[in-house]
Structure formats: structure tokens, C-alpha cells
Structure 1
Amino acid sequence: MQVLPEGFVLPPLPYLIGVLAASVLVAAALYRRRPPVTEQVVIALAPWMIVGAGLYALEQAAVIPSLFVPLASAPTVYLTMFVIAGTIITVVGHRRPEQFSFDSCPGILALTGVLALTGVLAIALLTAFRNAPVHAFWPSVAVAGALVIAGVVRLVGHRYRSLQIDLTGWAGVLVVFGHALDGLSTAVGLEFLGFGEQTPVSRLVIEFGGVWLFVLVKILIALVVVYLMADYVREEPSEGYLLLAIVTAVGLGPGAHNVILFTVVG
């Protein structure tokens, strides 16, 4: 039985050793410095999650220079983004982690991420126009749908405090948005653009109950996770928000990858 998603390949040995060594060094530095993970830090990590997703999409579209292809392929691209974002957090992690300003950790992390993301999206759009027609309608529908779902969750969570969703703040909303985007982008890719599902577990769910059941399951799981994490975030904020960041990446990364890939290659 296939466990890993299709397209997952290990890079050549020199790249593998290099990225693993860098990841271990960054992880060790983060463990030693223990920078606080706040709601603002989780939000600031979102652009870097999309950068990684975009690089993987561009690698699949064969527009990444050959020298950097091993670093942009899956699963290595996740370690590449960890090394970059982790290095930034290691250096500035203790600078006002609960504020967005030009010299705070969330501000620096978000600004560098947005700059990198601007470059990735610019290349993606240029590639899409070069391969015209641009297939941006259905990916845009997926993004809009995810935004609506996340917005409703934010409003409901704020209105009904007993649901505890509001305790996780915008980080919890980002979790729901990421997984809604993953589900909806998968749905439009399968239903309207002729793409297939690469992840074995997701493919089993789709084969069992259809693509829209998959969307519903993704959203429900995200809501349950946010609900269960609420008390943990309140009692152990740094650890709780770190887990929310990981859960966000699992949804936002694949969802953003789908949107960018569909737009580029249609």
C-alpha cells in the first residue's frame, strides 16, 4: 500500500546531507534559545508556508533552475523552508513576539516572507501567462470559499465563546482557512481541472465518499483540532501555538500548492 504522496523523492546525497545538517543545526539553535511562539508568530509564518508551496509548484512546472530543483522538490522543500524561517526566528525570536512592527520578530518574519512570496508569485504568474490561457478562475473560487469559511468560523467563535474557538485567535482561523483551502482546491482540481489526488489517505476518503465528503472532513477536522487546542493554548501558549503552526502548515501548504500549480499549468 502506498503511504507517501506521489512525487515525493529524495534529493541527491550532497543536497540531502546538507539540508539535514542545516535542519539539525537550526532545530538545535531554536531549542537552545527557546523563542516564544505567539499568535502573531504563527500568522507571520503563513507567507513562508506559501513560499514553500509555490516553490514546489514551480518545480513541478519545470521553471526552477536545475541547481535548486532538489531543494524545491517534495519533501525537501519543507526542510528548506524550515531552515530559512527557523534561522530568522533564531536570530530575532525574542524581539517583541506579540507585536507586529518593523523590528519585531513577527514583523521581520512576515516582511521577509511577503517579499519572498512576491517573487514566487511573480514567477508563477509570468509562467502562467506564457502558458496561456491562464486557468485562474477555479483556483480563485477555492481561495474565496476558504476565506468565507474562515470568516464564518471567526464570527461564530467570537459570538459563541463556549465553542472556545476564539481562544486561539487568528491562529485558529488560519488553521481552518488552510485546511478549507486544501479541501476546496482539491475539489476544484478533481471536478473541473482534471487533476488527480496525490496523497493516498485523501484518495481513499475521496474514493469512499466523493470529493465533497473530503472537503467536509477536512473542515470538520480543522474545527475539532482548534476546539481541542483552545485550552492548551491558554495554559501553555508557546507550545500550543507551535502545534497550531504545524497543523496550519499541513493544510495551508498543500492548499496553496494546488492553487499555484493549477494557475500555472491549468
Structure 2
Amino acid sequence: MVLPEGVVVPPLPYLVGLGIGIVAVVALLYAISPPVTDWTVVSFAPWMATGATLHVLYLQETFPDAVRPLFSAGAVYVTTAIVAGLVWIVATLLTAARRNASVARYIGTVGTGVAVTFVMFSLYKGTQTGTLEPFWPVIGGVLAGVIAALAWLLLSFTVTEAAAVTGMSGALVVFSHSLDGVSTAIGVDVLDAGEKTPASQAILDLAARLPVADSIGVGWLFVLVKITLALLIVSLFEEYVREQPRQARVLLGIVAAVGIGPGIHNLLLFTIGA
């Protein structure tokens, strides 16, 4: 198995609808060809968090049966991408005739509002079934930020051009995977949570066979691997960003989403005690 345990393929009508939706959004974006800058990539970070939060709400059995398959594992990120893409299209059209208007600001503002709303609703649902447990999620968020900052500083000193060229897009990639790594480590070593992704579990199993496993746990190796891979990807993207900045930044955004989605998902689940 390569896919995480729990990934659900929605029924055919939903699958077809999601397929048509994402193809239509991509086609429209290709047609209007909006600019993709550092700020554009960063502005989608709240939407990445929204996808993770919607799946937590799915696990909390929030959605009615008619739309519930749209928020299952895997499908929820396609659903979120369609909505975020539509917001991108509308923002591009609204700002086309306005001087000094920022597409990224619109995307980020709307995304932040949506993400905060759903997170607060999930926390409210959590209080109905038990008490919130925010201590370790807060520690995890702070620790992920510190580790990402140190890793970015290291990259800036050793591969200065890569850090300068990729900019905030690269920094978001590093933070996103730091968040995923740290949240997984806390879940495994502190909260006795399981890991559903086979590749991640293989890394944890390797760490468990090391002599230091009994003293410092197994999550540290996963954090190290995630940070190393993030820094490697950012370094390799230097020339790509120089030559094809639009396509390269879109891919960097996707790489960031692969980290920030699971990271936020983990921390929110831990907060509501799931």
C-alpha cells in the first residue's frame, strides 16, 4: 500500500462531479492565466488548512449524507481546490480593472475567514463531546515554527541563491513539512497516535530499531527526514523558479499543501481529543 489508510474513493457520481469541477477550474485558470507570485502561494495557505479542517469535521460527522462523500479523505482536498480555484478566478476578474488591487490579498483574506470559521466550528463540536486539549498542539505549532526558522536560516547560509530565489514559497514549503513532521512526532511519541501513511510508518519503524528509540522516541527521525526533503526540494527548485516562475511556484504550493494539510489535520485532531 502507498496511499494512507482511511482514504475513501467517493461513489461514482461524486467522483465524476469532482473530476468535472477540477478540470473546469484548471481550464478557466489556464484561460485567464493569472500571475503567480510569492504572495499568491502564501495566500493559499489558509485554504490548505481549510481542507484539513473540513476532513476533521467529516470525522466529527458534521455533514449531511448528501454531501458527506465530498469531504472524505482525499476527496476533501479536491473539493477545497475547486472552491479555492473559483475564488482565485473571481479575485482575478474583480481586480483586473482596479489599480493597486491585489489578487493574493483577496485569496488570503477570504481563505483566512473560511479557515477560522471552520476551525472554530470544529472546536465547538469538540466541546460538545468532551474537553479541548490544546497544550500539545500549541507546543507542536511553536516547535514547528522554530525548527522551520532554523532550517531556513541554515539554507540561507549554505544555499543562499536557492533561498533568495524561492523566497516565501520556499519558506512555506519548509514550514509546512516541519509542521507535518513535528505533529506526527508528538502524536506518535506523546499521544500514542497511529500513523496511517505506509511510507511514514516505514520511517518510524526504522527509528524504532535504533538504540536511542527508548530514550528519545521515534518521531525525531521523521522530523529530520521531512525537513531534509523540504530543503532538498527548495534547493532543486532554484533554476526552475528562475526559468519558469509561474509553473514552479504552483508546484511549490502543491508541495507545501502536502505538508500543511496533514499537519493542521493532526493538530486539530489532537486539540479535540480525537
Residue 68 of structure 2 is aligned to residue 60 of structure 1: no
Shift of 1:62: 2.0
- Please point out which of 180, 184, 189 is paired with 1:182: 180
Whether the aligned pair in 2 keeps the contact of 1:7 and 1:74 (CA below 8 Å) is yes
SS of the residue 2:237 aligns to? helix
Whether the aligned pair in 2 keeps the contact of 1:61 and 1:265 (CA below 8 Å) is no
What aligned pairs does 1:182-201 form with structure 2 within 5 A after superposition? 182-201=180-199
Residue 258 of structure 2 is aligned to residue 250 of structure 1: yes
- Please point out which of 124, 127, 139 is paired with 1:126: 124
SS of the residue 1:129 aligns to? helix
- Please point out which of 208, 212, 221 is paired with 1:213: 221
Shift of 1:156: 4.2
Counterpart CA distance in 2 for 1:9 and 1:73 is 6
Shift of 1:61: 2.3
Whether the aligned pair in 2 keeps the contact of 1:143 and 1:181 (CA below 8 Å) is yes
Whether the aligned pair in 2 keeps the contact of 1:61 and 1:261 (CA below 8 Å) is no
TM-score by length of 2: 0.88
Question: Which blocks of at least 5 consecutive residues in structure 1 are unaligned?
Answer: none
Whether the aligned pair in 1 keeps the contact of 2:203 and 2:222 (CA below 8 Å) is yes
Shift of 1:31: 1.9
SS of the residue 2:83 aligns to? helix
Shift of 1:132: 2.9
SS of the residue 1:265 aligns to? coil
Shift of 1:236: 1.7
Quickly say closer, same or farther: Cα 1:11–1:161, change in 2 above 3 A: closer
Residue 2 of structure 2 is aligned to residue 3 of structure 1: yes
1:194 partner amino acid: D
1:12 partner amino acid: P
SS of the residue 1:71 aligns to? helix
SS of the residue 2:62 aligns to? coil
- Please point out which of 225, 234, 237 is paired with 2:233: 225
Counterpart CA distance in 2 for 1:216 and 1:161 is 18
SS of the residue 1:93 aligns to? helix
1:254 partner amino acid: P
Shift of 1:84: 0.7
Question: Which blocks of at least 5 consecutive residues in structure 2 are unaligned?
Answer: 208-217
Counterpart CA distance in 1 for 2:266 and 2:26 is 28
Choose 76-85 or 207-216, whichever is displaced more.
207-216
Counterpart CA distance in 1 for 2:93 and 2:175 is 28
CA RMSD of aligned residues (A): 2.0
Choose 46-55 or 236-245, whichever is displaced more.
236-245
2:203 partner amino acid: V
Counterpart CA distance in 1 for 2:29 and 2:155 is 32
SS of the residue 1:164 aligns to? helix
Equivalent residue number for residue 167 of structure 2: 169
Counterpart CA distance in 2 for 1:22 and 1:224 is 33
SS of the residue 2:44 aligns to? helix
1:104 partner amino acid: S
Shift of 1:225: 0.6
Counterpart CA distance in 1 for 2:21 and 2:205 is 39
Shift of 1:189: 0.8
Whether the aligned pair in 2 keeps the contact of 1:95 and 1:104 (CA below 8 Å) is no
1:74-111 residue CA offsets vs partner (Å, 9 max, x unmatched): 111111011111112223337779xxx7x421011001
- Please point out which of 247, 252, 258 is paired with 1:239: 247
Counterpart CA distance in 2 for 1:112 and 1:68 is 22
Shift of 1:191: 1.3
Provide the identity percentage.
Answer: 41
TM-score by length of 1: 0.91
1:19-54 residue CA offsets vs partner (Å, 9 max, x unmatched): 111111111112222222110100000000000001
